[in-house]
Chains A and B, each alone.
Chain A
């Protein structure tokens, strides 16, 4: 287990019902939406080829809407003939979901929308209805297991030493939108409080399995539990229980603090998008500077003291563009 800066790839599995997705070769940044779609309810099967009197193999030619398009009730989906036309119309508002081998159509009502965000700065290397894959360069730390949805945010050091634990009292809403390095161990209380305060992810040496069960349910296992639903995100680096971070792992956190980062839960990896030379911190972490100011671990700088967003963007160019 060590920090490595090289070219990585990250798969992003897509649910059924994709509407649009980034195309191969497109450049994206972590946090960008790479796919969007609809959550669909029970689908209706509508007779297609048989209704038009054409063979299933010819039916595709007669379709007036592409598969995956949103349709309104009464919309013509397929049509043949001029003087005596025959047509297939949508019985409900929804999504034209699928064409069967028999030339029938499935139309499903839309009940909600979903989006999938990139977890890596880079270029789309694969894009289809099941997966969007991104390749890009970043600092990466391979963890043992990860739980919850992917998370993207600013990396913030939450503890003052590699053996320290993050106390629940040090988490507040000012940490919203960040990925917190939580030290040697996180408990269920820390996970739930961080989630309630808007923290997007926690990275820790060890995680209490009993705490994981409280948060993610009794079916959780040691191999992780990537999901898409609204839950906390936890990356466990060393194992389960209390795992003091090795110096070689902890020190780079200080160097990389403040950079954009992402937790890719399917591969249990932490990506950090920074050009900093890990091991030789160029600038001290803001947290270390502000150690005497109460819940600093938590403490993001005041807006007045913060660097202008433009400067930050310049500092964090996608590595692949360098």
Chain B
């Protein structure tokens, strides 16, 4: 993976570790802050959340123990304050009952005060209890487990995506969002110029082995609504389930590309929901001035396909420059998105070195303006203005409104979706 936003960056050879799946159960205090802390930990570490139990959970002791036994966690993450100590101790008793015979035994990682850790360590016997002073240390420990002790030169994909977001933020001097969709995972990483990062790596949620999970979470109808051609639900479901059965290469047929595009939109949308649930700044992600797309999302045959999936799934809310960087290739600037929500027609003013132009934008407009320069844009009455470089495709004006809603009826929705595909030269043969 090349970590660069420039047109001709040096290519750095990096080995990506084959991370193993890590199942984590989250036990947290009664306060919302405690829940957010453990969910953010799990998302940032790329672990699969298999159980979540709040200290004040209404489940009985036996139900909590059974839930933990069924979850078969590799690691149990505990977080809470001193007033949660009693409830967390009881949950650890449920863990002893539920997972005492599990082999290998789960490890217990605590992000708690020293005094709470001392009390909980006794109750976590016979599991190994490790206390971490900071969230970053705990995330690193979880990632270490995912690497499975393979600590050579190999880096986890998550870390590379975060590095790419940081590099883009530092190059452009603005917030940068990296969006990565692979066969089994979907990642959203927001990096700010001051090096702060909010990262979420959701597993399993992807285009191949995670495709069935996208369907379960989003519903089949929500995946199907993005297809520009009619397909009956059972046939689509069969395709999704068969995708999930094993690794696949890049989509080669038009139908496969369109299916992957539909799945990727919903994967991104659901990743955003999880990110919002974890208390991350979704508004900042949607308004990031620089957006980098990677993984399968960046490997679609046409740049317009990557751009269309991004704007449909992420629903950017401002002016953003979009880059894409496939796994086997260099980064390229593909376009600039100007997202506006309008109630009445407005004017968009585009200023570039060679002059300025003004165009009318009606609500619902969705199309490209072929410009390849550095531009300043401003939309009257909407408060949207920004600067960027429009790249290979040009400037995409998206006035479809937010949140983006699609017509319910096939007869209205399919022509609209087909029109959007055509506008970005993203159409493929079904």
| Interface residue ranges, A against B (CB under 8 Å) | 13, 15-17, 40-43, 45, 97-98, 100-101, 106, 108, 128-131, 144, 208-210, 213, 218-223, 239-241
Contact = CB atoms under 8 A, between A and B. Distances in A.
B238 interface: yes
A209 B241 contact: yes
Contacts of A239: 241-242, 245
Given A101-B122, A106-B61, A208 B93 contact: no
Nearest to A129: B101
Contacts of A108: 61-62
A72 B399 CA distance: 71
A16 B97 CA distance: 8
A209 B65 contact: no
Contact of A208 (B63, B212, B238): B238
Given A98-B96, A208-B238, A209-B238, A222 B62 contact: no
Contacts of B213: 221
A17 B97 CA distance: 10
A131 B125 CA distance: 20
A129 B238 contact: no
B244 A222 contact: yes
29 contacts: A15-B69, A16-B62, A16-B65, A16-B66, A16-B98, A17-B62, A98-B97, A100-B93, A101-B123, A101-B125, A106-B61, A106-B97, A108-B61, A108-B62, A209-B234, A209-B237, A209-B240, A210-B233, A210-B237, A218-B216, A221-B241, A221-B244, A222-B240, A222-B244, A222-B245, A223-B212, A240-B242, A240-B245, A241-B238
Contacts, number: 88
B136 interface: no
Contact of A98 (B60, B93, B242): B93
B82 interface: no
Given A100-B93, A129-B101, A41 B62 contact: yes
Nearest to B237: A209
Given A15-B69, A131-B101, A240-B238, 6 more contacts: A43-B61, A108-B62, A130-B69, A130-B99, A210-B234, A222-B212
A208 B234 CA distance: 8
Q: Which 4 A-B pairs have the closest CB atoms?
A: A130-B101, A42-B60, A222-B244, A240-B241
Nearest to B238: A241
A129 B233 CA distance: 43
A221 B216 CA distance: 7
Contacts of A220: 216
B382 interface: no
A67 to B, nearest CB: 10
B149 to A, nearest CB: 25
Interface in B98-129: 98-102, 122-123, 125
B254 to A, nearest CB: 20
B97 A144 contact: no
Contacts of A221: 212-213, 216, 241, 244
Contacts of B65: 16
Contacts of B63: 42
A16 B69 contact: yes
A102 to B, nearest CB: 8
B259 to A, nearest CB: 14
Nearest to A211: B234
Contacts of B245: 144, 222, 239-240
Contacts of B123: 100-101
Interface string B223-245: 00000000001100110111011
Given A213-B237, A221-B212, A222-B244, A128 B62 contact: no
B244 A42 contact: no
B112 to A, nearest CB: 17
A106 B62 CA distance: 9
A101 B88 CA distance: 13
A108 B100 CA distance: 18
B127 to A, nearest CB: 12
B242 A129 contact: no
B246 to A, nearest CB: 9
Contacts of A210: 233-234, 237-238
B410 to A, nearest CB: 18
A219 B215 CA distance: 9
A269 B63 CA distance: 29
B93 to A, nearest CB: 5
Chain B CB within 10 Å — which of A13, A108, A130 has the most?
A130
Nearest to A208: B234
B344 to A, nearest CB: 41
Contacts of B242: 222, 239-241
A56 B216 CA distance: 47
Contacts of A42: 60-63
Contacts of B62: 16-17, 40-43, 97, 108
Contacts of A222: 212, 240-242, 244-245
B174 to A, nearest CB: 39
Contacts of A43: 60-62
A43 B97 CA distance: 12
Interface string B205-226: 0000000110010010000000
A220 B241 CA distance: 10
A131 B237 CA distance: 34
A223 B213 CA distance: 10
B239 to A, nearest CB: 8
Interface string B60-102: 1111011001000000000000000000000001001111111
Nearest to A56: B122
Given A209-B238, A210-B237, A130 B60 contact: no
Contacts of A219: 216
Contacts of A213: 237
Contacts of A128: 101
